[in-house]
């Protein structure tokens, strides 16, 4: 794999998407070619699955169905966007990836982790991120932020209740603890600039080979 795969993870209202754009601008400023993409999504087929996942009644899918739909989207995304970009040496910045399935469907939703292990082995294989930035915030604050900027769409997970979001945060922290080399927990409770500074510090070592 010639390129560098970096993923952004975290609960709702962490400012992940803003931070991804800021990092992309930093890389562009240094002449490093990168693509910005997201999950579920990134291809027209996966975006169609996203619409099914992020809208409607919070209980419309079981956690297992959500895992399968996310992995269907991920399979398309990996084959058509992520692997081709990495193979020509690009930096790939991805807003969410398989850790979101572990945290949302597994730790928070109760999906059997063995199913998620099997899906990850079959679909992701060796295309694992070199670095995963886990943006961390108290879910009370995160949900407030998410609500403040909401336009009433794509809020199915925001409506799942505080306990779900507390399990979610604990799940992301467990993932970080289990893989400290790959994952960096970034405090996302401060300003956009503070969070950006922490992210730049975490990414910097990767820019020098």
Q: Which residues bind ligand TMP (CB under 6 A)?
A: 38-40, 53-54, 66, 70, 96, 100-101, 104-105, 154, 157
Task: For ligand TMP, give the closer residue by CB, 32 or 155.
Answer: 155
Q: How far is the CB of 139 from ligand TMP (least distance, A)?
A: 12
Task: For ligand TMP, give the closer residue by CB, 140 or 207.
Answer: 140
Task: For ligand TMP, give the closer residue by CB, 33 or 56.
Answer: 56
Task: For ligand TMP, give the closer residue by CB, 39 or 136.
Answer: 39
Q: Report the interhelical angle of 63-77 vs 44-54 (nearest 10°).
A: 160
Q: How far is the CB of 30 from ligand TMP (least distance, A)?
A: 26
Question: Which tokens go with 84?
Answer: 């081709």
Q: From the CA atom positions of the chain, what is the Rg in Å? A: 16
Task: For ligand TMP, give the closer residue by CB, 149 or 208.
Answer: 149
Question: Which tokens go with 94?
Answer: 């991805």
Q: How far is the CB of 41 from ligand TMP (least distance, A)?
A: 8
Q: How far is the CB of 79 from ligand TMP (least distance, A)?
A: 16
Q: How far is the CB of 10 from ligand TMP (least distance, A)?
A: 8
């Amino acid at each position: 794999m010639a390129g560098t795969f970096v993923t952004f993870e975290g609960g709702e209202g962490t400012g992940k998407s803003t931070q991804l754009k800021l990092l992309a601008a930093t890389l562009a400023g240094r002449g490093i070619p990168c693509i910005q993409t997201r999950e579920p999504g990134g291809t027209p087929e996966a975006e169609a699955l996203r619409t099914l996942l992020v809208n409607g009644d919070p209980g419309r899918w079981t956690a297992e169905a959500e895992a399968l739909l996310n992995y269907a989207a991920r399979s398309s995304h990996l084959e058509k966007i992520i692997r081709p970009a990495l193979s020509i040496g690009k930096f790939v910045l991805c807003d969410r990836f398989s850790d979101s399935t572990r945290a949302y469907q597994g730790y928070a939703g109760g999906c059997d982790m063995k199913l998620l292990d099997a899906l990850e082995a079959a679909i992701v294989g060796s295309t694992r991120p070199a670095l995963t930035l886990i943006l961390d915030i108290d879910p009370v604050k995160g949900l407030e932020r998410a609500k403040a900027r909401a336009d009433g769409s794509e809020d199915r997970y925001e409506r799942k209740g505080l306990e779900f979001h507390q399990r979610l945060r604990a799940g992301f922290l467990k993932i970080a603890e289990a893989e400290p080399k790959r994952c960096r927990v970034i405090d996302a409770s401060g300003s956009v600039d503070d969070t950006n500074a922490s992210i730049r510090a975490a990414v910097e070592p990767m820019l020098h080979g």
